[in-house]
Amino acid sequence: MHLIAVTVALLAVAHAGPAPKTLKLCVPHNAYEACVQMMEQGKGVGVEMSCVPARDRIDCLSKLHDHKADWEAVDPEDMYIAAKRFGDSMSVFKEIRTKEEPDAEFRYEAVIVVHKDLDIKNMEQLAGLKSCHTGVGRNVGYKIPITKLTKMKILPPLNDTKLSPRENELKALSTFFSKSCIVGKWSPDPEINQRLKQQYSNLCELCEFPDKCDYPDQNSGYEGALRCLAVGGGDVAFTKVIFVKKFFGMAYGSQPAAKSDHKPEDYAYLCPDASKKPVTGPPCSWAARPWQGYLTSDQDQQTVATLREAITKLNNLGEQNHAEWISSVLALNNKTLAQDNKGPYTPQEYLGKAKYVDVIERDVLEPRRSVRLCTTSATENSKCEDLAQAAYSRDIRPGLTCVTRPSLSECLTAIKENQADIVSVDPGMAVNALSKFQVAPVLKEEYEDDHKISAIAVVKKSSPLQSWADLKGHKACFANVGEAAGWVIPVHKLVTSGLVARDNCPYTKAISEFFSAVNYSEEPFKCLGSGEGDVAFTDYDSVLRHLEGNEKAEDYELLCEAGGRKPLDQYAACRQGTVPPKVMLSRKELSPVEKDDILFALLSSADLYHKHPEYFQMFGSYKGHPNVLFSNVALGLDSVHTGADPLAPHQKLHDDLKTCTPQAL
């Protein structure tokens, strides 16, 4: 009897087949805890999944491709990157739509609205009219019309190589339209922004506040562009369909008709063939922005069905509980919902049906121009390539390209010889480079308001060392020769304190004679922790980063220059000095357009990815490596204007040591 029971059980297991796999959702690391919470709550509605943390959405795409994860939430721009990198290996299987228009095929459709009696027979007759736009750099009111009108050869050429891509666009619009309202930040650099608005001031004349030409302005945005048309003197408005319906009080989606001060029968859609259609009827759109959605690398139909059902359950659960994870993990809010599509579609198909690929690829200059960022390692180059593709997908022009050289010195030579445009450099190394390579800082990193990078000396708590004089004959961990916190500042202190003779040249030799062993490394604190050194000369932020791992803060103390020791968190009272910001160097003699290009590409990227690290983590560790291209602690970049010298404090230390310091570059 027992044998029969065992046999029956084995047969049951055999017929049941393999257990279904646990599907894995990939999320940027800043949403990982929220994802874990979502999955824990999801068990109550029958959703069994796990979360895979990633650096950002681009990292998630790679994890999907490598089948380390099964799905993620994405924007159309992320879909574009997926299509370029991985072809047809992924699919968009569900969309994030609005509750107002849950059945609409696209997130919005770009339209041109005119007065119905506007006398126009062809698109060339738009020239000289007064135009109303949503804002600079925006989709329906700027990117789409420029893209489509340029392809139709309606706009004047955008190929002035003496101007930046953004200025080419503004010049073309300013020449084509007599007056306009295009508010916003025309350049991320305040000085360039002001210059452009003065030079092309007619693009601000229809705005509520022409002198400011920035948000808030009642003649900007989707509805504001229509207000500009209806009562602000405009002839043509670039906006999207749903706001046409709202503005004129027409019913749309699930919303009934409402009262409006404006008569829809007085207005028309202007179609690409210059024909007109009443705004009360079907629109003729120029392009559409696809919905956000969810991407999977699993082509199995049953898996797709399981994912669709699970997301719907999680959507409902999150709404009922007002869960915070609904936005950070699923990219939903109280105005949106996850909706099955007719696909799945490959990313290329999905973008193609909205005619959106050429909008993403909009590049006004031919031949295309780019800012060439120089890198010195495979890791730096990989991050540069990720940044370049991410920025391009998000309409940052000019684009970035990556130039690789085996060393910083060779990168600086490439810049000097106009084979590259910019390189990110430690402030100590930067001071060393200024005269030798004829370079100058163009950008500097930004940190928290009161944040200063502090140069410190760290020892293990068990160490007997109590003063810098005690260091003689012990092992030291320095950063690379020439770096600010880990070489220039501590060596300067050793020399000026008299512990190392000022005339004992070169100082690399003098330092090796003072210590029993000297290790030069990228990570001095790691060198100390491994026992290779008795003291580490480094910066406080690097120590903090290591303490996020397995190291314990209480196992280390600061060795103060004035004698004695202090806990790590008292670094402000026990540091040898503060370090200027990391800088980006370019040729000293840049033309105005070259500088415009560099500032626009890098400042726009920094602004965007500081606000949205989930798109791409520009600041922070990359593939397990710290300070790749930019410092982990940086929050953004800022322009270095003519006459300003962020390296001046450090220059004095260099001048004091240079007669006896070997050139690091």
Domains of the chain, residue spans: 23-103+290-358, 108-289, 370-450+580-657, 454-578
Q: If you compute the radius of gyration of the chain from its CA atoms, what whole number of angstroms results?
A: 30
What's the pLDDT at 84? 97
- Among 582, 647, 634, 566, which Cα is nearest to 605's? 634
Q: Tokens standing for 361?
A: 């690829």
- Among 632, 307, 631, 650, which Cα is nearest to 488's? 650
Is 533:524 a contact under the CB 8 Å cutoff? yes
* Residue given tokens 């690391």 in the structure block: 29
Count how many Cα atoms sit within 13 Å of the Cα of residue 401 in the half-sphere of its side chain. Answer: 10
Per DSSP bridges, beta strands 91-98 and 292-296 are: antiparallel
- The yes-or-no answer to whether 108-289 and 370-450+580-657 have a common fold is yes
Query: Sign (positive/negative) of CA torsion 137, 139, 143, 145?
Result: negative
Question: Before 156, cis peptide (omega within 30)?
Answer: no
Q: Is 141 labelled a binding residue?
A: yes
What is the CATH number that goes with domain 108-289?
Answer: 3.40.190.10
Distance separating alpha carbons of residues 16 and 290, to the nearest angstrom: 41
Q: Which pLDDT tens digit goes with each residue over 222-254?
A: 999 999 999 999 999 999 999 999 999 999 877
Per DSSP bridges, beta strands 475-478 and 583-587 are: unpaired
Burial class of residue 615 in the structure, from the number of CB atoms within 10 Å of its CB (0-12 exposed, 13-18 middle, 19+ buried):
buried
Query: At a CB cut-off of 8 Å and minimum separation 6, what does 165 contact?
Result: 158, 363, 364, 365, 369, 397, 398, 597, 600
Q: Tokens standing for 39?
A: 């999955």
Q: Is 134 labelled a binding residue?
A: yes
The length of the chain is 665
> In degrees rounded to 5, what are phi and psi of residue 414?
-60, -40
What's the pLDDT at 272? 94
- Secondary-structure class of domain 370-450+580-657 per CATH: alpha beta
Distance separating alpha carbons of residues 485 and 491, to the nearest angstrom: 10
What's the pLDDT at 664? 61
CB atoms closer than 10 angstroms to residue 434: 18
What is the CATH number that goes with domain 23-103+290-358?
Answer: 3.40.190.10
What's the pLDDT at 662? 63
Count how many Cα atoms sit within 13 Å of the Cα of residue 475 in the half-sphere of its side chain. Answer: 15
- Among 57, 74, 76, which Cα is nearest to 351's? 76
Flag residues of the chain having pLDDT under 50: 1-17
Q: Which pLDDT tens digit goes with each residue over 355-366?
A: 899 889 987 666
| Angle (CA) 259 335 393, round 5° | 110
Q: Is 222 labelled a binding residue?
A: yes
Q: Tokens standing for 353?
A: 């049906």
| Angle (CA) 124 125 128, round 5° | 110
Query: At a CB cut-off of 8 Å and minimum separation 6, what does 304 contact?
Result: 91, 93, 296, 298, 344
Is 356:362 a contact under the CB 8 Å cutoff? no
What's the pLDDT at 91? 97
Chosen CATH of 454-578 out of 1.25.40.10, 3.90.1260.10, 3.30.70.20, 3.40.190.10? 3.40.190.10
What's the pLDDT at 8? 42
What's the pLDDT at 657? 77
Instruction: Give a three-class secondary structure readout of 486-550.
Output: HHHHHHHHHHHCCCCCCCCCCHHHHHHHHCCEEEECCCHHHHHHCCCCCEEEEEHHHHHHHHCCC
Is 169:180 a contact under the CB 8 Å cutoff? no
Query: Sign (positive/negative) of CA torsion 554, 559, 565, 569?
Result: negative
Q: Is 108 labelled a binding residue?
A: yes
- What is each CA distance from 366 to 15, 159, 168, 394, in whole angstroms? 63, 6, 11, 19
Question: Before 282, cis peptide (omega within 30)?
Answer: no
Count how many Cα atoms sit within 13 Å of the Cα of residue 328 in the half-sphere of its side chain. Answer: 16
